[in-house]
Every structure is written in structure tokens, then in C-alpha cells.
């Protein structure tokens, strides 16, 4: 199953900037076959609420990603996850590295200059929220709360949104 993901959030959730998980993704996780990728390690340096889109891409589940950004948003995803290491790229592209090559290059090396293999690119668009319009009714919509980030005061907003969502079987 391939998904066209429309991600409306205050963060892109593609690595949370240059988060500590990039090394696990690039030197261990992407070296696994797709079936083994279904059970990643979880935690700050692994799969977490700030990078889950990277893991969906690594499992081959995403066909296209649209990030609907808030006003005054600033780039908060790591260039390592973008095609040609370009944060302005319109494609996600995950990269596999040999950990020894990264270590040998040193802490000041540019990752783009270290030998690596790439996964297939995935179209990626960022659209500011005021400019976003759905082109068609989605097949599935998921509303989530980020534990540790969503205040209790937002509960009434989730309750209000849920009034407008058709539930299967109702």
C-alpha cells in the first residue's frame, strides 16, 4: 500500500532538524531489508514523534508527501533526508552510509562528500497553511496528539474536530 501523506503540523517530523536519529537511520536501519524495517528501535536516537515520516518512507509506504506548514515556519528537517542534501529539494531521498566511512571522515566532514547509496526519491512539497487546499476528499484521515507537546487545553479542539469526522460503521 502506498500513501499520499498530507501532514499538517507545526513541525515537518522529518528528523526534527538534524536529530540524533540520523546515524541510526543511515548506518543501521536502512541497511535492513524492507520487511525487517517494520520494527525499528524507538526512542530519542531512533524512531520518535519528530521523525516518524522518515521511517514511513524507509518502509516504502509513501508515494508522496505534502507538508502543510504553519505561518512563520522555519526549516526543521535534516538535509540528510532530502535529495542531494538540499533542504529546498522537492524530493525526500534517504541515504545509506557505512558507519566506518563516517567515522573515518571525521566530525567536520560533509556527509554529501562521504560515499553513500540512495533510496528511491519521494515527491515532497511544502505548502504554507493559508495556501493549502484539498484537491479531493481523502480516503483516510488520522488526527494525532504528540505526547509531551499537546497541552491538555487542546482537548476541546480535538473534541470539536471529531464532530465533523465520519466514523466507519456509524
pLDDT per position as a tens digit, 72-81 = 888 888 889 9
What's the pLDDT tens digit per position in 24-61? 999 999 999 999 999 999 998 999 888 999 999 999 99
What predicted TM-score, i.e. pTM, was given to this entire model? 0.85
The answer to whether residues 102 and 23 touch, using CB atoms and an 8 Å cutoff, is yes
With cell 512539497, the residue in question is 125
Asked if 88 contacts 31 with a C-beta cutoff of 8 angstroms, the reply is: no
pLDDT digit string, tens, across residues 79-97: 899 999 998 999 999 999 9
- Cβ within 8 Å of residue 122, ≥6 positions away: 57, 62, 63, 64, 65, 91, 92, 93
pLDDT score for 44: 86
Asked whether 83 and 93 are in contact (CB, 8 A), the reply is yes
* Strand 116-118 versus strand 95-97 pairing type: antiparallel
CB burial readout 18-33, b (16+ within 10 A) else e: ebebbebbbbebbeee
Distance CA 131, CA 69 (A): 10
pLDDT at residue 37 in the model: 95
Rounded to whole angstroms, how far apart are CA atoms 61 and 4? 9
Amino acid at each position: 500500500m502506498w500513501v499520499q501523506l498530507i501532514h499538517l503540523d507545526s513541525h515537518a517530523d522529518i528528523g526534527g532538524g538534524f536529530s540524533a536519529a540520523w546515524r541510526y537511520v543511515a548506518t543501521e536501519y536502512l541497511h535492513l531489508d524492507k520487511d525487517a524495517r517494520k520494527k525499528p528501535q524507538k526512542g530519542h536516537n531512533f524512531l520518535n514523534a519528530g521523525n516518524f515520516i522518515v521511517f514511513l518512507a524507509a518502509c516504502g509506504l509513501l508515494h508522496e508527501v505534502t507538508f502543510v506548514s504553519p505561518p512563520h515556519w522555519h526549516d526543521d528537517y535534516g538535509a540528510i533526508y532530502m535529495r542531494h542534501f538540499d533542504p529546498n529539494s522537492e524530493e525526500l531521498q534517504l541515504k545509506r552510509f557505512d558507519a566506518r566511512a563516517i567515522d573515518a571522515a571525521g566530525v567536520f566532514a560533509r556527509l554529501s562528500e562521504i560515499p553513500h547509496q540512495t533510496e528511491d526519491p519521494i515527491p515532497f512539497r511544502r505548502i504554507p497553511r493559508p495556501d493549502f487546499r484539498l484537491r479531493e476528499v481523502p480516503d483516510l484521515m488520522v488526527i494525532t496528539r504528540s505526547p509531551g507537546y499537546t497541552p491538555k487545553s487542546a482537548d476541546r479542539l480535538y473534541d470539536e474536530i471529531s464532530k465533523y469526522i465520519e466514523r466507519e460503521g456509524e
